[in-house]
Chain A
């Protein structure tokens, strides 16, 4: 903990805080009278302000204070929550983000402009923002008060970490009337004193109308390491506290130098009672803090690598063991196999995060786009609990932004057009995720006007992608929008299709070994589906032999395996199809494709693979069996080889290449098309 830069820690926490505020605000847009949401936003702002001040982000604290004040007024019922206010705070929230990231940069008039907006939104009364503590204090005199006894001690190194206990005390004082007593019993004799360490704990009696969560908010950034106990007490208890033992800290003391207190002062302060101090924050936030551990992603990646190597070593071991007659060796090998399998599964789960984290950021995008374009948009999200590898989520964020933006920019019509077309005024964009086997399917659907085929064709012809009048199937036509260079700046505005950076989207998805499908019905909308493997590191594969080489076919793509009868083989000299339950499946002879220069085995096999919509058979010499595959990427020197998505190391230490099914199917279709043309 102490090795972490406190400012970095603050930034992470602040980012989470801001996200929570944003979520609260966006929810509030729909339910302006929801008190819980108002409270949640207020608490978020309050926490951000307090911890910002504590970590030296003065500008942030000052700015946030105004937003907090505005929300405090809403909370007290002085002003109503309006969509203007929410919008103003949303905009202000971006500014806070900037203040967190670059506290020293010159943000110029942005802050003033935003504050002016905010003031307009809450009415003229807010023109004179009150001081930090004033609204609460005023309130505390007229409402019923609770009395709390709060004891807390911070770890000895907390000042080195940038925590200022006086800041915490100030915040407590902001909550209401406070008597603070310092417990100095832990201060060592002068010769044992380390000036940078903190030896003092505090005992605070607080009279406040705020509820318990307000107290917890004060400690939110230090809760993990500190000891804190909060008890509700009778008003009388506070009153009877012996004056000699309590030392009200006047406000001026806030500027006094922090502890350590000279050792000589010790005898005057005796701990009141030897009650063991324990943390007892409210269940929810406490449980969260204890159950989740923050781990840098690269450490997880390292662990993943190690587990990968273990899986390889294990498969070598089981190969050796299976050839051995030693019973003890075989049983150990089986045990290790089980353990490494479990470890692998556990590891996978560690890296999985729900797509909700990905989807949540689109609410803001849609909100902003709706304002920008004047369209009315409903964002629906489905399957948010579907879990995907963290790396996949990170890499998908940008492509999804593209797709959502395109849906709204090009797909959805303006309200007038929608009404004219007999549709509801509000357009719907649906983001959904679901798991299907070893893949997760993420789709972006809109009920807009659909892709205009004529425009796509015209654009493709004018940019030379296809010949004028060239016959294309509908899927082929839609695939054109993924062509690099299909979208040029000039085309974006007048093209109703989706041209913006779709080649980039496709490239990213293919890098993740995924695929894209588009369905678009004119007048009714479009759906773009991304099929992404659940994880990038380990897959189950089918190990096959072609000539002398061994290759891995991802098992998720394998539909079935058949024998290629001699008869079929001979017949297929002229055409490369097999008939599979009344449908024609084109096939590729991998031996020819890989130019192995070997003779085919007598009993060749066909592995039928599918990418969801297309099926292609791959002719191999032998099917060796299942293989748990740790994927190793290939170097840049092999970037030009699209047929393989990576490599893996087999039990005997040799390397097998992993087939890129998407590219093979594309190659198969090409071959089929050539055959068709050849007639």
Chain B
């Protein structure tokens, strides 16, 4: 991904407002954030049903209010290790646009933190070096206190296949 394209995506993401309201959550010690508008609900853990033969990144489905929705694990997209659920683990249900159709997806998280507001000026495009993760999976990084909050690019993550990642983990 070229620096120009990354910058452009970064601009698009922030262009509509000076500030954006986000929900932050933890995954393997990193802090991530999702735009609050796409979050439908935060759920306690539910019984999961494995889908044999699917990509490890979306290896199971859950019953969300009578709808069967996929449960995705962003850790596998980012090449992190899947860890055991803890007492703090929650599912976040989001609605994203997949191939032109609004789709509900559950995301595993280790812990859900808070809803907060991030300023546009605080965001930075992901650096071209020094990143462990695929740059196109990240919309931007926002510095807060001593650490970075990662805003994942959900469109990129959900529209690509994750076979390779799955094989690694």
Interface residues of A (CB under 8 A from B): 309, 312, 549, 593-596, 632-638, 640-641, 643-644, 646-649, 652-657
Once the chains bind, are A636 and B54 in contact (CB under 8 Å)?
no
Listed A/B pairs (23) with beta-carbon separation below 8 Å: A549-B52, A593-B52, A594-B52, A634-B68, A634-B70, A635-B69, A637-B54, A637-B55, A637-B72, A637-B103, A637-B105, A637-B158, A638-B54, A638-B61, A643-B53, A644-B51, A646-B68, A648-B68, A649-B66, A654-B49, A655-B47, A655-B61, A657-B49
Residues of A within 8 A of B99 (CB): 636
Identify B47's interface contact among A637, A646, A653, CB under 8 A: A653
Q: Which of B49, B55, B98 contacts A636 (CB 8 A)?
A: B98
What residues of chain A lie closer than 8 Å to B107, measured between beta carbons?
none
The verdict on A635 contacting B51 (CB below 8 Å), with A309-B66, A312-B66, A654-B63 known, is no
Question: How far in angstroms is the closest Cβ of chain B from A421?
Answer: 49
The number of residue pairs between A and B whose CB atoms lie closer than 8 Å in the complex comes to 77
Instruction: Chain B residues near A644: list those with CB within 8 A.
Output: 51
Max count, chain A CB within 10 A of own CB: residue among B47, B49, B50, B55? B49
User: When the two chains form their complex, are residues A657 and B51 in contact, meaning their CB atoms are under 8 A apart?
Assistant: yes
Task: Determine the chain B residues whose CB is within 8 A of the CB of A648 once the complex forms.
Answer: 68
Question: Given A549-B50, A594-B52, A654-B63, A637–B58 Cβ distance below 8 Å?
Answer: yes
Residues of A within 8 A of B54 (CB): 637-638, 640-641
Q: How far is the CA of A167 from the CA of B49 in the complex (A)?
A: 64
A647 and B52 form a contact (CB under 8 A): no
| Complex interface: chain B residues within 8 A of A646 (CB) | 68
Q: 5 tightest CB-CB pairs across the interface, nearest first? A: A594-B52, A655-B49, A647-B68, A632-B68, A654-B47
Cβ-defined partner of A635 (8 Å) among B47, B53, B63, B98: B98
> Are A649 and B158 in contact (CB-based, < 8 A)?
no
Shortest beta-carbon distance from A663 to chain B in Å: 10
Taken residue by residue from 38 to 67, chain B's Cβ proximity to chain A (1 for < 8 Å, 0 otherwise) reads as 000000000101111111001001110011
Contacts of B61 in A (CB 8 A): 634, 638, 647, 655, 657
**Which residues from A are CB-within-8-Å of B51?**
634, 638, 641, 644, 657
Nearest B residue to A305 via CB reads B66
Beyond known contacts A638-B51, A641-B53, A644-B51: 16 more, CB 8 A cutoff: A632-B67, A634-B70, A636-B101, A637-B55, A637-B98, A637-B103, A637-B105, A638-B58, A638-B61, A641-B51, A647-B49, A647-B61, A649-B63, A653-B63, A654-B63, A655-B63
Chain A, Cβ-Cβ closest to B54: A641
CA distance A84 to B93 in the complex (A): 64
Docked pose: A612 CA to B103 CA in angstroms:
36
Q: Which of B123-150 contact A (CB under 8 A)?
A: none
Give the bracket for the number of chain B residues in contact with chain A.
20 to 34
Chain B contacts for A595, CB-based, 8 A: 52
Chain B positions within 8 Å of A643 at CB level = 52-53
Which residues on the B side are within 8 Å of A636 (C-beta)? 98-99, 101, 103
Q: Which residues of B contact A635 (CB under 8 A)?
A: 68-70, 98, 103-105
**Which residues of B sit under 8 angstroms from A638, Cβ to Cβ?**
51, 54, 58, 61, 70
Rounded to whole Å, the gap between the CB of A645 and the closest CB of chain B is 12
Residue of B nearest to A549 (CB): B50
Q: In angstroms, how far is the closest chain A Cβ from the Cβ of B13?
A: 22
A630: nearest chain-B partner, CB-CB: B66
| B-side interface mostly | strand
**A144→B61 CA distance, assembly (Å):** 76
Residues on B with C-beta less than 8 A from A656 are 49
Bound together, the chains give a CA A648 to CA B68 distance in angstroms of: 8
Complex Cα–Cα for A208 and B67 (A): 63
From A632, which residue of chain B is reached at the shortest CB distance?
B68
Residues of B within 8 Å of A652, CB to CB, are 47
Inter-chain contacts of A647 with B (CB < 8 A): 49, 61, 68
CA distance A666 to B12 in the complex (A): 46
> CA A656 – CA B50 in complex, angstroms?
9
A574 CA to B50 CA, complexed, in Å:
29
CB distance from B94 to the nearest CB of A (A): 12
- B160 shortest CB reach to chain A, Å: 11
**Residue of A637, A641, A653 with highest tally of chain B CB at under 10 A:** A637
Q: Quick one: closest A residue to B47, CB to CB?
A: A654
Residues of A within 8 A of B50 (CB): 549, 594
Q: Tell me, in angstroms, the Cα distance from A646 to B158 when the chains sit together.
A: 20
Q: Which of B66, B68, B70, B103 has the most CB of A within 10 A?
A: B68
A657 to B47, CA, bound (A): 14
CA distance A644 to B66 in the complex (A): 18
Considering the complex, give the chain B residue whose CB is closest to the CB of A655: B49
Complex CA gap A632/B51 in Å reads: 14
Q: Which residues of A contact B63 (CB under 8 A)?
A: 649, 653-655
Chain A residues whose CB sits within 8 angstroms of the CB of B62 once the complex forms: 655
Cβ contact within 8 Å between A649 and B58: no
Chain B, Cβ-Cβ closest to A636 = B98
Q: Name which residue of chain B comes closest to A546, CB basis.
A: B52
| Measured CA separation A646–B51 after assembly (Å) | 11
Report the minimal beta-carbon distance from A539 to chain B, rounded to whole angstroms: 15
The interface residues of chain B lying within 8 Å CB-to-CB of A654 are 47, 49, 63
| A632 cross-chain contacts in B, Cβ below 8 A | 67-68
> Which B residues are in CB contact (< 8 Å) with A596?
52
Complex CA gap A312/B63 in Å reads: 12
Q: For residue B98, which residues in chain A have a CB less than 8 angstroms away from its CB? A: 635-637
- Rounded to whole Å, the gap between the CB of B103 and the closest CB of chain A is 5
Contacts of B49 in A (CB 8 A): 549, 647, 654-657
Q: Are A637 and B68 in contact, CB atoms less than 8 angstroms apart?
A: no
Q: What residues of chain A lie closer than 8 Å to B69, measured between beta carbons? A: 635
| Complex-state Cα separation, A648 to B63, whole angstroms | 9
Give the docked Cα–Cα distance between A636 and B58 (Å): 11
CA distance A638 to B62 in the complex (A): 13
The residue of chain A having its C-beta at the shortest distance from the C-beta of B158 within the complex is A637
Chain B residues whose CB sits within 8 angstroms of the CB of A657 once the complex forms: 49, 51, 61
What 1/0 flags go to B64-82 for Cβ under 8 Å of A?
A: 0011111010000000000
Kindly state the separation between the CA atoms of A549 and B67 in the bound complex, as whole angstroms: 19
Residues in A with CB closer than 8 Å to B72 are 637
| Cα-based distance from A647 to B53 in the complex (angstroms) | 15
Chain A residues with CB under 8 Å of B58's CB are 637-638
Which of B52, B58, B69 counts the most chain A CB atoms within 10 A? Answer: B52
- Chain B residues closer than 8 Å to A640, beta-carbon distance: 53-55
User: Once bound together, how far apart are the Cα atoms of A644 and B101, in whole Å?
Assistant: 21
Look across to chain A and name the residue whose beta carbon is closest to the beta carbon of B100: A636
CA separation between A655 and B72, bound complex, in Å? Answer: 16
Report the minimal beta-carbon distance from B74 to chain A, rounded to whole angstroms. 13
Q: Which of A549, A634, A635 neighbours the largest number of chain B CB atoms within 10 Å of its CB?
A: A635
Residues in B neighbouring A637, C-beta threshold 8 A? 54-55, 58, 70, 72, 98, 103, 105, 158
How many angstroms from the CA of A636 to the CA of B63 in the assembled complex? Answer: 16
Least Cβ distance of A408 to chain B in Å? 36
Distance in angstroms from A311 CB to nearest chain B CB is: 11
A634 to B103, CA, bound (A): 10
Contacts of B53 in A (CB 8 A): 594, 640-641, 643
A655–B46 alpha-carbon span in the complex (Å): 10
Contacts of B105 in A (CB 8 A): 635, 637
Assembly CA distance A191 to B69 (angstroms)? 60
Least CB distance from A112 to B in Å reads 43
**Residue with the greatest number of chain B CB neighbours at <10 A, chosen from A549, A647, A648:** A647
